[in-house]
Copies of this chain bind each other. A is one copy, B any other.
Amino acid sequence: MGTKVMIPLCSDFGEKHGSICIFGTGDFGRSLGSKLMQNGYSVVFGSRHPGETSLLPRGAEVLSHAEAVQNCSIIIVAVQRDHYDFLKNLKEALEGKILVDVSNNLTINQYPDSNAEYLAQIVPRATVVKAFNTVSAWALQSGSLDASRQVFVCSNDSQAKQQIMDIIRAIGLTPQDKGSLGMAKEIEDYPLQLFPMWRLPMCTCAGLTVLVFLYCVIQDIIYNAEKNIDVSYLLMITIPNRIFPVVSLMLLALCYLPGAFAAIIQLYRGTKYSRFPNWLDRWMLCRKQLGLVALSYAFLHAIYTLVIPIRYSARHRTETFIINQVMLNKTRAFEKPLTWRSDTYLALGILGFFFYIVLGITSLPSVSNAVNWREFRFVQSKLGYLTLLLCTGHAMVFGWNRFLLLDRYRWYMPPVYTLSLVIPCVVLILKLVLIIPCIDTRITKIRQGWERSPSKKAETKLKTCSL
């Protein structure tokens, strides 16, 4: 899906477009220059040592910085921020020109201000546009733009921005207007990110996985090893298939816990204009990722479960069981309650998994963009709680009364499924309390802007901005 645009390498529509100056003959400057030339722009390179530069695309002039600037209104500064100083000597030559800052940093927050704003400060009479930093030299050369073709652009001058956006479009990329130059910092941080919103959910998930794994290992493998029974083969499927559902259910409940906390805080404070504690803010912002991690564990649980009848150990158990029954010459009676229980927890699990997946699909960017707020909240809240309810029910019916059979407690450790039920039950009880009509009305009022005692609250409200 997605058709590749095959731009002719040596198009001959020549000098249709204007001349663009590129400062810097490094990898990115050369790649961008060559791409621009392929699309009909004439390119002039500006270099400290114009004679020594090799490796440039054929047809490109290399001049000194001052000479290169003369006939161009657009200058692309493909130079590290550390070397911006040379621009101070070109102040007059650069007056009224458009400077395009393409630089990236090595780490987030390397400098207090953004490179583009720093450039604007060095050459105050030029117009600075931030662009191209999300594209790699490699992508420009290979033309394989499978990843994002988006180029974020920002500038305080909307006409200059427009010109640069036209160039971006001309070379087959998609400009995205990010507003004023103040957004440059964010644009510069963007390519350095590696799933920042996923870090907290991933760590939570990893932590829970390790804990539950150790719990299972102690309860099953070590407990049996004590008795000289080696059941280490459980490590491959049985134990993972105990970890996945337990952690998945916990994570799903953790998606809805902060919402409940937030409602309680708002109820207690009687206003929505005070800020939540920081940890709650961070937690609330990563709920989507938390949910997707939970979904992936639920998916793994589903397949691990469906695969059971194919496993050698399961088949062997069935065989042995049947053969033993034949030997003893007896038949197991058909127990209807057992059928009900077995079918109920399977049905609850399947329905829970189904709504889980619907939630996952709704969080795809293109789908969530196509629904309005009312629809989004309907799905994420109503459907979300339904999913949590179904999955909690699934775990409960699965476990049934096993948590009461104390002889099943190995080393006084309750079965692992009981652990998984703690957080979901807390969340569901909180939710149940919060939808009691009188409390629900109060929360709705607070969320619409009502406050318990406006006069007193007014001073504390939005105080972060008064500092």
Residues of B near A57 (CB, < 8 A) are 462, 465
Contact: B190 with A179, CB < 8 Å?
A: no
- Shortest CB-to-CB span from A370 to chain B, Å, is 5
Closest 7 CB pairs of A and B: A27-B449, A366-B366, A236-B343, A147-B376, A312-B342, A58-B466, A54-B458
A73 smallest CB distance to B (angstroms): 16
Most chain-B CB neighbours within 10 Å: which of A191, A240, A316, A353? A316
Could you say which of A326, A357, A464 has the most chain B C-beta atoms within 10 Å of its C-beta? A326
Shortest A307–chain B CB gap in Å is: 5
CB distance from A295 to the nearest CB of B (A): 11
Assembled-state Cα–Cα distance A4/B369 (Å): 14
Specify the chain B residue showing the minimal Cβ separation from A357. B299
A284 to B143, CA, bound (A): 10
A299: chain B residues at CB < 8 Å are 354, 357
Find chain B residues with CB under 8 A from A204 CB. none
Say yes or no: A2 contacts B370, CB within 8 Å: yes
Q: How many copies does the complex hold?
A: 3
Does A374 contact B192, Cβ atoms closer than 8 Å? yes
Q: Is the CB of A134 within 8 A of B373?
A: yes
Residues of chain A at the chain B interface (Cβ within 8 Å) = 1-6, 9-11, 13, 16-17, 26-27, 30, 34, 37-40, 54-55, 57-59, 134-139, 141-144, 146-150, 156, 158, 166, 169-170, 172, 177-180, 182, 186, 190-197, 230, 233, 236-237, 240, 272-273, 284-285, 287-288, 292, 296, 299-300, 302-313, 315-316, 318-323, 325-326, 331-332, 334-336, 338-344, 346-347, 350-351, 353-354, 357-358, 363-378, 380, 447-449, 451, 454-455, 457-458, 461-467
With A158-B166, A343-B236 in contact, do A193 and B372 touch (Cβ < 8 Å)? yes
Contact B11 A346 (CB under 8 A): no
Q: How far is the CA of A262 from the CA of B378 in the complex (A)?
A: 35
Known: A347-B240, A367-B364. A166 touches B179 (CB 8 A): yes
Complex Cα distance A292/B2, Å? 12
11 new A-B contacts, CB < 8 A, other than A134-B373, A193-B374, are A1-B367, A3-B196, A17-B180, A54-B454, A55-B458, A57-B462, A58-B465, A135-B373, A146-B368, A148-B373, A237-B346
| Chain B CB within 10 A, most for which of A172, A195, A300, A343 | A343
> Given A3-B197, A465-B57: A309 and B310 within 8 A (CB)?
yes
Asked whether, in the complex, the Cβ of B236 is within 8 Å of the Cβ of A347, the reply is: yes
In the complex, which residues of chain B have a beta carbon less than 8 angstroms from the beta carbon of A272?
141
Whether the pair B447, A4 counts as a contact (CB closer than 8 A) is no
Task: Determine how close the nearest CB of chain B comes to the CB of A76; give it in whole angstroms.
Answer: 17
Given known pairs A1-B363, A54-B458, A303-B302, the reply for A376 and B148 (CB within 8 Å) is: yes
Q: How far is the CB of A56 from chain B (nearest CB, A)?
A: 8
- Complex CA gap A193/B196 in Å reads 33
Q: Evaluate contact between A190 and B305: CB separation under 8 angstroms.
A: no
Which chain B positions have C-beta within 8 A of A342? 311-313
Given the known A-B contacts A194-B374, A197-B4, A374-B194, are A465 and B346 also in contact in the complex, defined by CB atoms under 8 Å? no
Contact yes or no, A178 B182, CB < 8 A: no
Q: Check if B371 sits within 8 Å of A1, measured CB to CB.
A: yes
Q: What chain B residues lie within 8 Å of A169 (beta carbons)?
A: 177-179
Q: Given contacts A54-B455, A365-B2, is CB(A373)–CB(B300) below 8 Å?
A: no
Interchain Cβ contacts under 8 Å between A and B, 13 examples = A1-B370, A38-B465, A134-B372, A147-B377, A172-B179, A193-B375, A230-B336, A300-B350, A309-B309, A319-B321, A323-B325, A326-B326, A366-B367
B354 adjacent to A296 (CB under 8 Å): yes
- Which one of A136, A156, A178, A303 has the highest number of Cβ atoms from chain B below 10 Å of its Cβ? A303
